[in-house]
Homo-oligomer: A and B are copies of this chain.
Amino acid sequence: MEDKKTDIWDSFSGFLEKENAIRTALTLFDWDNETLAPEAASEKTAKAYGALSAVYQELLTGEKAGELLENVKTEKSLSQRKQALVTKVEKERKKLLSVSEEEYRRFSELTAMSVRTWSRAKKQNDFSAFIPVLEKIVEMRKNFACRRAKDGQRPYDVLLSDYEEDFTIEKLDQFFGELKAGILPLVKERTRKNKVCPIACDFLFQNFDVEKQRHFNKWLAAYLGFQFSRGVLSESEHPFTTSFHKDDVRITTHYYKNNLESAVFSTIHEAGHGIFEQGNEDWITQTLLAGGTCGVHESQSRFYENMIGRNRAFWEPIYGKLQKNFPEQLEDISLDVFIRAINRSEPGLIRTEADELTYCLHIIIRYELEKRLISGEVAVSELEEEWKSLYGEYLGVVPKTAGEGVLQDIHWALGEFGYFPSYALGNAMAAQIYHQMNQQMDVEELLRKGDIDQITGYLREKIHRFGASKGVEEILLEMTGEKLNPKYYVEYLKEKYGE
């Protein structure tokens, strides 16, 4: 019996190794494409990438994979870890099986075309040019979701569960309702105060030598605890994090000559993602459970970016170093003035440039729109007007063009509906973690001493090592004794931005 069991797991293991190998190769293509590949490479590389995706699809949906899964599921005494892996692989297989090879190819072609159309429409501020293709994308996505819907699930619920399993429309409606109620008055109040007494931040937008920025940001990532012996910091148009396994985690940032703030907070944000991945346990890395769920991942990047990176205590020991790097620009700027500037808040039109206070409102608008888009309550052709109206209502600003409005994000062009809420979940989770952590240790005192290791050690123990094997709710319940509760985030924001 023992032998048979070992054989079954070994066969499944061999399959997992191939699954990992092809997926890792696809990840490497993505990384290379964003950071290094020459301009003209894309067409031919896309051909290889497409063929490799097909090989992946075949491997996961093949009869052989089905047999291996059936066999391994008959094992009664699999460890919890092995079971978690089996469940994850089965879920991925079901998802891929719900779409035929032909449909998959059509959808891939559609999104490839859609991204080009979106990019052109955005440049030309012409939403109408994007409408027909977006309609097709919504239709296909909705169809695929319907097939996977279990009893009672609405299609948007299915899409949401792809990114963060525990969250449904019902739960998110309540979550975002509480957030909105807490944040809207704060934004209003802050907008009023800004008029009376604007916060100085011009000094962040002088000329900052890019080579010197590179030097400082690399040092900063290491200071935060990102390990360069097991990681890489490169550059790309849009900063991101990816990883091949825990010993090869890649983060990027983007340097602007006239903006010191942008690269610094991109680096801290991505280092947060990166430190999470470097903290995965061995059994998890190189499997589909590596990394973390979207919400948990974002909680870590936001935690490092905001709770740590915008904290006065964090900058106390290192602001002098930043000044030394840029004496001409920062010599006369006190730490207090610097801290106030990097914590300013002002409603704007662009999500990726939003501050901590207003960020979730950008997400709420997208959530409300995509929910109604998938349910059919809003038509694609009505999106632009709805967008404007919600921005006016929540943020008090109305986009003049589609490029700074409904066309600003790439997500919908890629067919990614249900992804946006993870950003808000991450923000709220970060605040709840921060609250809990402050009960256990004097976080600011640690920051003042430059002892970030102890903070990261705590996060590794409670979060990082589990990768994607635990979601937002499970982690928070184990860590704080309660599931996600937006009140911590609202309280955090009130304390920071309130009276």
Contacts and interface: CB of A to CB of B under 8 A. Distances in A.
Nearest to A37: B248
A4 interface: no
A20 B51 contact: yes
A228 interface: yes
Contact of A47 (B25, B29, B286): B286
A54 interface: yes
B38 A228 contact: yes
A286 B20 CA distance: 24
A285 interface: yes
A106 to B, nearest CB: 17
Interface string A139-169: 0000000000000000000000000000000
A325 B40 CA distance: 30
A375 interface: no
Contacts of A436: none
A350 interface: no
Contact of A49 (B21, B52, B247): B21
A41 B245 CA distance: 8
A51 B18 contact: yes
SS class of chain A's interface: helix, strand, loop or mixed? Answer: helix
A178 interface: no
A374 to B, nearest CB: 33
A234 B37 CA distance: 11
B285 A44 contact: yes
A40 B232 contact: no
A52 B37 CA distance: 22
A20 B247 CA distance: 28
Nearest to A247: B40
Interface string A440-457: 000000000000000000
A50 B230 CA distance: 20
Q: How large is the interface on A (under 10, 10 to 19, 20 to 34, 35 or more residues)?
A: 35 or more
Given A25-B28, A40-B247, A44-B244, A54 B230 contact: no
Contacts of A47: 17, 21, 286
A224 B450 CA distance: 50
Given A40-B229, A229-B39, A231-B38, A48 B20 contact: yes
A237 to B, nearest CB: 17
A108 interface: no
B55 A247 contact: no
A181 interface: no
A220 interface: no
Given A48-B244, A229-B40, A18 B286 contact: no
Interface string A232-258: 101000000000111110000000000
B286 A41 contact: no
B55 A248 contact: no
A38 B244 contact: no
Interface string A316-350: 00000000000000000000000000000000000
Contacts of A52: 18, 21-22, 25
A1 interface: no
Contacts of A228: 38
Contacts of A231: 38
A393 interface: no
A43 interface: yes
A45 interface: yes
Interface in A195-246: 228-232, 234, 244-246
Contacts of A229: 38-40
Contacts of A45: 24, 244-245, 247-248
Nearest to A20: B48
A174 B24 CA distance: 48
A348 to B, nearest CB: 36
Nearest to A25: B25
Contact of A28 (B32, B43, B285): B32
Contact of A41 (B40, B43, B230): B230
Contacts of A24: 45, 48
A29 B248 CA distance: 12
Contacts of A51: 17-18, 20-21
Closest 7 pairs (CB-CB, A-B): A41-B248, A21-B51, A25-B25, A21-B52, A17-B51, A44-B245, A21-B48
Given A21-B52, A22-B52, A44-B244, 7 more contacts: A18-B52, A21-B47, A25-B29, A36-B232, A38-B230, A38-B231, A44-B248
8 contacts: A21-B52, A22-B55, A25-B28, A40-B230, A40-B248, A41-B245, A41-B247, A47-B286
